[in-house]
Chains A and B, each alone.
Chain A
Amino acid sequence: QVQLVQSGAEVKTPGASVRVSCKASGYTFTRHDIFWVRQAPGQGLDWMGWMNPNSGNTASAQKFQGRVTLTRSTSMTTAYLDLKNLRYEDTAVYYCARAVGPGLSTRFDSWGQGTLVTVSS
């Protein structure tokens, strides 16, 4: 079955960087875009960006541009989210999700378990 397994919780100081990994299994990794979504404590879901594992093409939400880098290792079937210059307000659970459906109907049918990133001095 499709599975996305993320790396463990992280505690970082302001200004630092963090890398979250997302290991995919149970399907052909290069056939589905991987999206990243975050959820601040007690808040809603916030789309961060996506990556095409086949081409390596990426796009990110305007609010994260310049701070987020999305990469992958096709041999490891793993996607990575790098977020730099961390701020207190980046404290959140970060999810990766597999995208399915055509452009007008893209949705997320499988999610990682989430990675809590805490930014604290």
Chain B
Amino acid sequence: QSVLTQPPSVSGAPGQRVTISCTGSSSNLGANYDVHWYQQLPGTAPKLLIYANNNRPSGISDRFSGSKSGTSASLAIAGLQAEDEADYYCQSYDYRLSGSYVFGTGTKVTVL
């Protein structure tokens, strides 16, 4: 099982703002390892959405933003659009798991 916990699902109406939490511990997010976020549209490979806590790769909409504090992180999606309906995963590193790169449990975002 993953050491990064996310809510299974989040939903919102078009135009709304939703947030997804990613809760870790002292051996991963709390140990100053960065958190990264991925978007996985149905039937496709994950895509890097946010890196190093709050940075967007080139080409990613500024509607997506990230933050991190202590052992938790959050991804926010502003101005929700139908095309945002996807699974979202956080990812970091955990030193207690023999050098393990860990993913969050994943959150399904539904646009109502």
Interface residues of B, CB < 8 Å — how many? 26
A105 touches B105 (CB 8 A): no
Give chain B nearest CB distance to A121 CB in angstroms.
26
A101 touches B51 (CB 8 A): yes
Contacting residue for A104 out of B47, B93, B98, CB 8 A: B93
Contacts of B106 in A (CB 8 A): 44-45
Contacts of B100 in A (CB 8 A): 47, 61-62
A112–B45 CA distance with the chains assembled, in angstroms? 7
Q: Which of A92-121 contact B (CB under 8 A)?
A: 95, 97, 101, 103-109, 111-114
A108–B97 CA distance with the chains assembled, in angstroms? 19
A45 touches B48 (CB 8 A): no
Which of B33, B45, B51, B100 has the most chain A CB atoms inside 10 A of its CB?
Answer: B45
Give chain B nearest CB distance to A91 CB in angstroms.
17
- The answer, yes or no, to whether A46 is at the interface (CB within 8 Å) is yes
B33 touches A35 (CB 8 A): no
Chain B residue with minimal CB distance to A93? Answer: B45
Give chain A nearest CB distance to B41 CB in angstroms.
12
A59 touches B99 (CB 8 A): yes
The number of inter-chain residue pairs (CB within 8 angstroms) is 64
Knowing A105-B34, A107-B36, say if A47 contacts B48 (CB, 8 Å): no
B103 touches A44 (CB 8 A): yes
Interface residues of A, CB < 8 Å — how many? 24
Contacting residue for B51 out of A47, A97, A105, A112, CB 8 A: A105
Knowing A45-B103, A47-B101, say if A111 contacts B36 (CB, 8 Å): no
A103–B33 CA distance with the chains assembled, in angstroms? 9
A79–B57 CA distance with the chains assembled, in angstroms? 25
B32 touches A95 (CB 8 A): no
A109–B36 CA distance with the chains assembled, in angstroms? 10
Give chain A nearest CB distance to B27 CB in angstroms.
13
Known A105-B36, A106-B93; 10 more pairs at CB < 8 Å: A37-B103, A45-B106, A47-B100, A50-B101, A61-B97, A101-B51, A104-B33, A104-B93, A108-B36, A108-B38
- Across the A-B interface, give the 5 residue pairs with the lowest CB-CB distance, nearest first: A111-B45, A105-B34, A107-B36, A45-B103, A44-B106
